[in-house]
């Protein structure tokens, strides 16, 4: 019986092997026939990849087509540590080409040994990238990228913003118009070997679509000069910060916007968060006496006041509610023009109280104070302007001379541009405008022109802003000096110095506001600190834009000589004095003749 049992066991084992073999054969046939397409797809996925093609970001240009931000082609070098294998011994060659520390490179590879991707060095030149590929090190790859470059450097960074290493917009107009600028990446299929090397470039799935160019209202020349003058003033006055905004009063275009301190966006190692802020649009300050022309405008709109209306400021102070409002001196009886020229707190308070809070607030509101300017700029502040129904007894006084409210530098420049534009408030724009907008009337043209004329007195002898004069041009503007708020009150030794104005006053083309924060170099008054910055920027801007002068100096003649306008010529036209001989010559007919009369000047 024993042999029979043994044979039975052998048959059973052989039967089981037969069944198992048939099952495996059936499974192989099934996979071969039924799931062939699926398996081929899975096998292909091990070696076939979709590679992204970087899109070229659009340029940012100034109003004349000069580049402000451009993208340059670069390459980044990366490693698949799992594919390095014995090629790890060639890392010193790679380190030498990339100018990196070989010890740090080896440590980095070791830390990422179980990963399939690690950057070695970002954004190297195409020449360096070609040298890396020439090494033919298994597991070492390059990829095309673009690096954003800003030709104007620190002068424009607060307006333009900047991108990170991955070309993602972080700040400024780069971020505002990111959808317009960035384009769409393309894609193509590639075949890689077992070590991750690209051995074949497959079909193109889609082309990369480059981004669109963006043309700004900014004038690169004016941006440079405004930045230069502001930086010098902040350093000279040992100030904490500063900002300036230059507007075209006919279009609302922002021609220049600068801030201090700043940083070079091409050197991202210099970036600190507090340096990246566009103070001209984000930082608020109490504008001080730069609000007085608007308080006077509101009073004149009622018909109760004209430039010659007398205002008694004696004895140089007055009580309002629980507070005493003071002037620097007892100016006594002033007319409205004198109130602006002397920057009288008492005078403007009396005018504001005579018309009531609603009319004052309404004009401020129509000027866009307390509201964001609507540029779409990231983080743009609205300032602070409480509704007049929320004002206390003394608020009408403080609002008349620029306390108890706050603005940013752009808002202040825009409000002054409205006076310059005969009372029409225009929207402001960072983009070049082909057709000037209609705007919104906020003042009658008559009042706007009268206030403009009164503000010319500020920069003349006896005014508070003589340092804002511009040779050859009539300037209309106003100084402002405000204590900074601190701990529910005001700091005794911290000030904001401001000057805002326009030129040429006879037919304004430009409006400019300058703010210097916490000057500590001696003087802190707006006329002394911000006024010279205004003059320097406005002077060069007017001449750069070829704006005709409207205050040509009188012809200089020697003692005993007077100027006489020749028939048919324009009074005040400039010409050199000539001799009696040349006067007698019919071929020489200068516009202005110098004639000696009785040995003296008449």
User: Which residues form the catalytic set?
Assistant: 289
**Residue 187, token pair as written in the block:** 């894609």
Count Cβ atoms within 10 A of the Cβ of residue 473 and give its class: 0-12 exposed, 13-18 middle, 19 or more buried. Answer: buried
**Rg value, the chain, Cα:** 37
Q: Which of 164, 144, 133 is nearest to 75 (CA)?
A: 144
> Is residue 474 a contact partner of residue 482, using CB atoms and an 8 Å limit?
no
What is the phi-psi region of residue 163: left when phi exceeds 0, alpha when psi lies from -120 to 50, beta otherwise? beta
> Is residue 427 a contact partner of residue 251, using CB atoms and an 8 Å limit?
no
DSSP string, 35-89: SHHHHHHHHHHHHEEEEEEPPPPPPEE-TTS-EEEEEEEEEEEEE-GGGTGGGGG
**Residue 460, token pair as written in the block:** 């003349």
Total Cβ atoms within 10 A of residue 558: 9
**Residue 298, token pair as written in the block:** 């509101």
Q: Give the whole-angstrom CA distance, residue 519 versus residue 525.
A: 9
Encode 23-57: b = buried (16+ Cβ within 10 Å), e = exposed.
Answer: eeeeeeeeeeeeeeeeeeeeeeeeeeeebebbbbb
Q: How many Cα atoms within 13 Å fall on the side-chain side of residue 503?
A: 32
């Amino acid at each position: 019986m024993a042999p029979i049992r043994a044979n039975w066991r052998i048959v059973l084992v052989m039967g089981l092997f037969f069944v198992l073999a048939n099952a495996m054969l059936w499974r192989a046939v099934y996979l071969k026939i039924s799931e062939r397409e699926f398996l081929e797809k899975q096998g292909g996925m091990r070696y076939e990849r979709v590679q992204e093609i970087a899109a070229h970001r659009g340029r940012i240009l100034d109003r004349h087509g000069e580049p402000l931000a451009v993208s340059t082609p670069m390459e980044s070098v990366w490693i698949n540590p799992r594919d390095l294998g014995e090629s790890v011994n060639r890392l010193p060659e790679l380190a030498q080409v990339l100018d990196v520390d070989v010890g740090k490179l080896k440590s980095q590879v070791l830390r990422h040994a179980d990963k399939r991707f690690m950057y070695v060095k970002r954004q190297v030149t195409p020449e360096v990238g070609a040298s890396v590929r020439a090494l033919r090190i298994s597991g070492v790859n390059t990829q095309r990228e673009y690096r954003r470059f800003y030709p104007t450097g620190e002068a424009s960074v607060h307006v333009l913003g900047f991108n990170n290493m991955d070309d993602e917009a972080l700040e400024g107009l780069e971020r505002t118009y990111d959808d317009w600028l960035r384009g769409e990446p393309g894609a193509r299929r590639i075949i890689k070997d077992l070590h991750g090397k690209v051995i074949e470039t497959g079909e193109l799935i889609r082309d990369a679509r480059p981004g669109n160019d963006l043309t700004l209202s900014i004038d690169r020349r004016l941006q440079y000069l405004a930045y230069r003058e502001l930086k010098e003033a902040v350093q000279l006055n040992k100030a904490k910060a500063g900002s300036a905004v230059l507007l075209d009063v006919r279009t609302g275009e922002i021609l220049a916007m600068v801030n201090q301190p700043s940083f070079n966006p091409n050197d991202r190692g210099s970036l600190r968060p507090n340096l990246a802020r566009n103070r001209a649009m984000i930082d608020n300050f109490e504008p001080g006496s730069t609000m007085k022309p608007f308080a006077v405008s509101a009073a004149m709109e009622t018909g109760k006041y004209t430039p010659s209306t007398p205002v008694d400021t004696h004895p140089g102070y007055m009580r309002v509610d629980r507070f005493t409002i003071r002037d620097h001196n007892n100016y006594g009886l002033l007319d409205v023009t004198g109130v602006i020229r002397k920057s009288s707190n008492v005078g403007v308070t009396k005018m504001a109280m005579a018309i009531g809070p609603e009319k004052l607030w309404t004009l401020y509101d129509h000027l866009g104070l307390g509201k964001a300017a609507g540029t779409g700029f990231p983080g743009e502040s609205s300032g602070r302007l409480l509704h007049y129904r929320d004002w206390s007894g003394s608020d009408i006084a403080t609002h008349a001379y620029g306390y108890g409210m706050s603005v940013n530098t752009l808002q202040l420049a825009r409000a002054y541009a409205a006076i310059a534009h005969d009372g029409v408030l225009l929207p402001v724009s960072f983009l070049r405008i082909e057709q000037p907008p209609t705007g919104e009337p906020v003042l009658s043209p008559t009042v706007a022109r009268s206030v403009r004329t009164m503000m010319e007195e500020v920069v003349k002898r006896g005014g508070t802003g003589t340092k804002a004069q511009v040779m050859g041009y009539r300037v209309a503007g106003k100084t402002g000096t405000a204590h900074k708020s601190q701990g529910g009150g005001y700091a005794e030794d911290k000030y904001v110095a401001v000057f805002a104005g326009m030129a040429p006053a006879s037919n304004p083309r430009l409006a400019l506001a300058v703010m210097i924060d916490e000057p500590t170099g001696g003087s802190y008054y707006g006329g002394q600190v911000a006024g010279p910055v205004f003059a320097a920027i406005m002077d060069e801007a007017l001449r750069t834009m070829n704006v005709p002068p409207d205050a040509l100096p009188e012809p200089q003649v020697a003692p005993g000589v007077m100027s006489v306008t020749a028939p048919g010529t324009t009074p005040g036209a400039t010409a050199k004095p000539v001799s009696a001989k040349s006067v007698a010559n019919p071929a020489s007919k200068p516009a202005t003749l110098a004639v000696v009369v009785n040995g003296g000047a008449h």
